[in-house]
Each structure stands twice: as structure tokens, then as C-alpha cells.
Amino acid sequence: MPDISGQDGPKPTMLIMDNDRMALMALQSILSKALPDFELLPPVSEGSKAIQLCTATKHPPAVLLADIAMNDINGPDVVRAIRRENATTAILAITASIVGRHAQEMARAGAQGIMSKNDDVRLQAVAIRQVQTGKIWGDGGDVRFETAAVASARIKAEKDNRLSAREMEVAELWSRGRTMPQIAAELSITETTVRTHLMRAADKLGAGNLKELIGAWIRMNLH
């Protein structure tokens, strides 16, 4: 059967991240029909899982649709953590709120554009194709989005005290009550590495010990 997409080789992959499971499944269903030339990966409802899939796998998705309001790690921090370690995945922010409220923050975090969940699906498909081909979407006013490569280079050059993608993963699991051996097994790393990441996270968040890290991590994700 001929490839109606006109593409040679494998389809570009796309991952959807949204904390609302019902909205997530609806978006997955709608976009799978609107973008038959894309392979939609199993969606995720946790920012920590999106970070893992975009930074710790051999083949990260070509496109990530990133909801801004997440329960575990807020959207901008997810995007920044990914962009610090991944210069190829195109990230398109999505929101049910007013796009203009979040555009600047997501551009600074390293996204390639932003769209509304309420946009017509045909417009959403255009936006996704735009960022997947190395372009940007949603510039306007004082907001200037960058390509994945440019945003990644900028964020890597920034000297800040933000947690790395792995530190976020480990801190999130620690805050859920996982033990160091459990975290090590889940992330396929050693217990020594887990402790190192936890200590670095505690230092960056101003926590005096690993018990205080839990509260500091929760407070960080409430802002």
C-alpha cells in the first residue's frame, strides 16, 4: 500500500503530556486522526515521565505537546529540564487557558511555540507540523520563540541553580515516598547515584537534609 503521507522512512513520533486524563485521551484520539503521518506514542500524565522519555531514551519523540498545568512538575520546568539535555525534540506548549498568559514563560523555558486546546484541530495539526519541521509557532508582541537547537544552546549556557532532568525525576520519586533502592531500580541507576542526585537537589533548593527536600520540592511545584 503506498505511503499517502509522501514521507520516506519512519513516521515522526509525538508524545502528549497532560495532567487531565480525559482531556489527554480525547486529544490523543483527535490528533491521531488529524495526523495520520505521525506515530503517536502512549501519552503521559506526569511531567517526570515526559522528562524521562525525552532525555533518557535512545529515540526521544520528534514532538512533545506539553501541557502547562501539571500536577507533579509544572510545565515550564518540564520543558526547561528537557531542553537542557535535548536539542532535537520540538516542544509545543498547550493550554486551556489564555495563550497570551503563558507564551513568554514557555518561550523562555525553551518551547518552540504554544497553542490552545480549544483551537480547531486543523489549526492544531498545522502548528504541530510547523514545529516538527524546525520552525516556530505563536510569535507575537514581545514573545519570540526559538528553534529547539537555539533554545537548547541558550539554556545550556545559562548559569542558574535549577535542577537537572534527572534531579527532578529523583526528587519527585523521593517526595512520593520511594526509597533509594526503589528509585535506583526504577531508573536503572545505582543507589549511590540516587543519593548524589538527591543531595544536589537538596542543595539547589536550600534544603538542609533529604527530609527537608520533600517539602522544598513540593513548594517549588506549587508556584
* pLDDT given for residue 223 in this prediction: 61
Beta bridge partners of 44: 17
Rounded to an integer, what distance in angstroms lies between the CA atom of residue 199 and that of residue 52? 20
Question: Exposed, middle or buried, 182 (CB in 10 Å: 0-12/13-18/19+)?
Answer: middle
Overall residue count recorded for the chain in this entry: 223
* pLDDT given for residue 115 in this prediction: 94
* pLDDT given for residue 221 in this prediction: 78
* pLDDT given for residue 140 in this prediction: 66
Write out pLDDT tens, residues 99-133. Answer: 888 999 999 999 999 999 999 999 999 999 999 99
Write out pLDDT tens, residues 173-211. Answer: 999 999 999 999 998 888 988 998 998 888 888 888 898
Judged by DSSP in three states, 17 sits in strand
* pLDDT given for residue 130 in this prediction: 96
* pLDDT given for residue 2 in this prediction: 40
CA nearest to 182, candidates 172, 192, 191: 191
**Quick one: pLDDT band at residue 73, thresholds 50, 70, 90?**
confident
Domains identified in the chain and CATH numbers: 13-157 (3.40.50.2300), 165-220 (1.10.10.10)
Helix (H) or strand (E) holding 92: strand 90-95
Does residue 56 carry a pLDDT above 70?
Answer: yes
More confident residue, 81 or 139: 81
